[in-house]
Structure 1
Amino acid sequence: MSLNYWVNIENLQQNRRKPDGEIISYEYDIYDFDWVKLYAKPKKNVNVQFGRFEELKAVEDVLRYMDKNQEAIILVPSVLAFGTYGDNDKIPNDMPLIVKIKVL
């Protein structure tokens, strides 16, 4: 994808891109590169607006092209994830992530 992350859906960017202001609901789990789930519960957001996300940029970008009930796996390099500082919880500094996401 254009932001230098990988997604398992071929030609995803050929789908319609959702504009700022459009509403979406989704959930995702975060894994390390050994497929160890980092948080027990998925992160879930209901009825959020594009353009007002407080998410990883790669997550927002992929969601803009996904359809309802569609699932994707994203490989996110650390610089696009939590970078040099991690998330001060389960994700250490400079850790690339696997994100498994679903549009609700």
Structure 2
Amino acid sequence: MNKFLTLTLITLAFACKSPEARRPVSVKSGSFIDASVERNKKLNAKEQALIEKFMTQKQDNDYIASESGFWYFYNTKTEIDSLQTPVFGDIVNYNYDVKTLNGNTIYSFDDIKTRNYTIDKEELFTGLREGLKLMKTGETVTFLFPSQKAYGYYGDQNKIGSNTPLMCQVTLNSITKTEDD
């Protein structure tokens, strides 16, 4: 009986081995992501070339490259140093239009109307959100946005198509400081 019990315990010890982890049948190499990165680099270079061509044709403006990846020039610049630019939570009142780089109007000032926006607390396309933070009350600035700073791959699901670089003329009417400041 003792041999039987020993044999049973040995059999159970080897039979109760935990299952081995399954190995994948095939290994993904990330080729889809690599292809997507390459496509985006080419698109970005193409849009950059379009914007640079636009700027060389319109040399009467003093273009400034933003740290965020778009370009702009002042139509009307406020030289008063005491005026501040908006910060997080401030409410700005502004007007803007949207055009293609060819100058074709997509949305006019009348189409969009005057808007209020609470800085960094509401939805707004990236370029305009970052551009408003560069402005002072009374200034009018024309921004040149590559598509990734505008409406990107999806467009606006209305008049702005996929991967469309945009030109927006923006007038900042007022900045209302919040109590947090």
- In the alignment, the residues of structure 2 paired with residue 94 and residue 103 of structure 1 have an alpha-carbon distance, to the nearest angstrom, of 27
Structure 1 segments, 4+ long, off by >3 Å, are none
Is 1:30 the counterpart of 2:95 in the alignment?
no
| Structure 1 residues not aligned, in runs of 5+ | 10-14
Report the equivalent of 1:45.
115
TM-score by length of 1: 0.84
Relative to its length, the structure with more helix (as a share) is 2
Report the equivalent of 2:129.
60
Superposed CA deviations along residues 31-58 of structure 1, whole A, max 9, x for unmatched, are: 0111011024242313x31121311211
How many correspondences in the alignment? 98
Is 1:8 the counterpart of 2:8 in the alignment?
no
| Structure 2 residues not aligned, in runs of 5+ | 1-65, 75-82, 174-181
Question: Between the two proteins, what is the percent identity of the paired residues?
Answer: 22
Superposed CA deviations along residues 45-79 of structure 1, whole A, max 9, x for unmatched, are: 13x31121311211121211211121000000011
Structure with larger Rg: 2
Q: Are 1:27 and 1:42, in contact at CA under 8 Å, matched by a contact in 2? A: no
Is 1:71 the counterpart of 2:140 in the alignment?
yes
Cα RMSD of the aligned pairs, angstroms, is 1.7
Higher relative contact order (CA 8 A, sep 6+): 1
Relative to its length, the structure with more strand (as a share) is 1
Q: Determine helix, strand or coil for the equivalent of 2:129.
A: helix
- In the alignment, the residues of structure 2 paired with residue 85 and residue 60 of structure 1 have an alpha-carbon distance, to the nearest angstrom, of 18
- In the alignment, the residues of structure 2 paired with residue 81 and residue 96 of structure 1 have an alpha-carbon distance, to the nearest angstrom, of 7
